[in-house]
Amino acid sequence: MMVEIWEEDVREWPVLSFNDITDYFVNVPACDDQPNHNYRSILEGQNYFNSNWIDTVYHKYRSVQCRIIDLKSKVRYSQIIGREHDVQITVNKDANQIIDVDCDCIAARGKCCSHTAGLAFKILEANKQGLIGKACTDMAMVWN
Q: Where are the domains of the chain?
A: 14-133
Residues of the chain with pLDDT under 50: none
Question: DSSP letters of 42-89?
Answer: HHHHHHHHHTT-B---EEEESSSS--EEEEEEEEE-SSSTT-EEEEEE
pTM above 0.85, yes or no: yes
**3-state secondary structure at position 143:** coil
| pLDDT in the model for residue 128 | 92
The answer to whether residues 11 and 126 touch, using CB atoms and an 8 Å cutoff, is no
| pLDDT in the model for residue 27 | 87
| pLDDT in the model for residue 140 | 66
Q: Please name which of 126, 124, 104, 130 lies closest in space to residue 22, comparing C-alpha atoms.
A: 124
Give the span between the Cα atoms of 76 and 54, in whole angstroms. Answer: 7
Sequence length of the chain is 144
| pLDDT in the model for residue 1 | 52
| pLDDT in the model for residue 66 | 79
